[in-house]
Every structure is written in structure tokens, then in C-alpha cells.
Amino acid sequence: MADDPTSLSGFRGTVRLFPLPNLVLFPHVIQPLHVFEPRYCQLMADAVGDDRMMSLALLRPGWEEQYQQRPPIHEVVCIWQDSQ
């Protein structure tokens, strides 16, 4: 995590999206995630191999029917950047 949460060095206006069905992240709180689906393992590998950034978004109610396509998400997301 960056020391300055308002600074996202390298942010190009787009970021990988990791949707979560029932988790809201708060600043400076550590939340372990068990990433097991191949597409999200690939997302993590791509992020680490590129700009080290991804966004975490809370899915909107009713996401279950569209989970394999593009389920609706809330407008505000958390952008994570690995500083290592």
C-alpha cells in the first residue's frame, strides 16, 4: 500500500476489475482473499506483471444471474496498488 492514499503512480485511467459479492474494503485494513478461480488468478498475475494495480468492486444485488458475464457493480471502487 502506498504511504499517500491519494497518489496512484502509474495510473493510466483504466485498471483491472476484481468483483466481490459481499466485501467492502476500508483503508489501512488488511483483508486476506482466497483467490482460486483461474480467471482471477490470471488477473492477479497480470497485475503483478504489469502496473501492479487492480480495483476491487462490490457487486450490486442480483449479480448471481450475470456472474459469468458482466454483473452490475457499485460506482465507487477501491484501487489497490502494490508498492513493491
Does residue 40 form part of some domain? yes
**Residues 11-22: b if buried by 16+ CB within 10 A, e if exposed:** eeeebbebbbee
Does residue 56 form part of some domain? yes
pLDDT at 80: 82
pTM above 0.75, yes or no: no
Does residue 55 form part of some domain? yes
Does residue 4 form part of some domain? no
> How many Cα atoms occupy the beta-carbon half-sphere of 44 within 13 Å?
10
Does residue 32 form part of some domain? yes
Residue 2 scores a pLDDT above 50:
no
Report the domain count for the chain. 1
Does residue 1 form part of some domain? no
* Cβ–Cβ < 8 Å for 43, 52: no
pLDDT at 7: 65
Domain of residue 38, residue span: 17-81
Give the mean model confidence (pLDDT) for residues 54-81.
Answer: 82
pLDDT at 16: 92
Q: Residue for cell digits 457487486? A: 59
Rounded to 5°, the CA angle 80-25-74 comes to 90
- Tens of pLDDT along 6-53? 567 667 888 998 988 888 778 788 888 889 989 889 999 999 999 888
Pairing of strands 78-81, 53-58: antiparallel
Written as one letter, the residue type at 33 is L
